[in-house]
Amino acid sequence: MTDIPFTRHHARRLREMYRSAGWPCCDGIEVELLAAGLLERVRSGQGHETLRVTDAGIARIADTLGSNRAVMTAHEALVEQVAREMTRAGRIAWRGLMLRARVPGGADGEAPRWCMAKPDVFSIRNTSVEAYAHPIVHEIKVRRADLLSDLKKPDKRAAYLDLGGECWYVLGCDARGRPIARADEIPAECGVLVACEGRLTVERAAQHRELERLPFQVWMSLAKAQPVPGFDDDVQGLLSGES
């Protein structure tokens, strides 16, 4: 067997091969997986050749699934932390909303386009005056590869800026306690927060722009969604005068 640099493309191919009938693709990734002993060739009685994931390949799939769950858990924990910080600041926060946003056209003179955006945390001020809502988008990243992939998607960032008066990237830290990116790697129009050892630190403030009103479809999405709980029941009882 040959050692190979095992990437997410290899992991994805292994999972696809495990779920499929095992028909060969005859590409470089497949050759490397065969050489590493993670796939094996099987010839049927009719002479057809298919591929099968070996025991070593199944073990590698299990390892990658465990790593993915660990990353997702870290991501979800940081999403929760940011959402709670927004509620403590007197805002109303939502997690994982699907919102319709407008992004600029791809070329000069091209009409704006609509797309769906899913910010990790979306929050507004707890106010009845629409002009004071001050919507903010927080995008959470705990892995550098995910961040770099995200930064290559200008439409996604444009959608966040359309939805919020401010857009922030919240960066986790690696195993050595170092932020996964520097502030100067993040587009200048976005703010940067670093989350390390349970604390959120502002590395660069977001550029703020006033939004007179939120689009109607955004208000409808907020009305249908469940916000992050704010004050607990005991505090609400004290505020209402209940004993």
Which amino acid, residue 154?
A: P
Token pair 């040959």 is found at 2
Q: Is 28 exposed, middle or buried (0-12, 13-18, 19+ CB in 10 A)?
A: exposed
pLDDT given at position 1: 64
Q: Give me Rg for the CA atoms of the chain.
A: 23
CA–CA distance, 210 with 226 (Å, rounded to integer): 26
- Structure-derived torsion over alpha carbons of residues 167, 136, 202, 145, reported in degrees to the nearest 10: -50
- How does pLDDT run along the chain (243 residues), one tens digit per residue? 677 888 888 888 998 888 887 888 888 899 999 999 999 999 888 888 999 999 999 999 988 877 767 767 889 999 999 999 999 999 999 998 999 888 887 667 778 888 889 999 999 999 888 888 999 999 999 999 999 999 999 999 999 998 988 999 999 999 889 999 999 999 999 999 999 988 999 999 999 888 778 888 889 999 889 899 874 444 444 444 444
Q: What φ, ψ does residue 163 adopt, rounded to 5°?
A: -80, -30
CA–CA distance, 228 with 237 (Å, rounded to integer): 19
pTM equals 0.68
Q: How many helices (H) and strands (E) does the chain have?
A: 7, 10
Taking CA atoms, 70 is separated from 10, 40, 199, 239, in Å, by 19, 29, 20, 40
Q: Domains of the chain, with CATH numbers?
A: 8-60 (no CATH), 69-227 (3.40.1350)
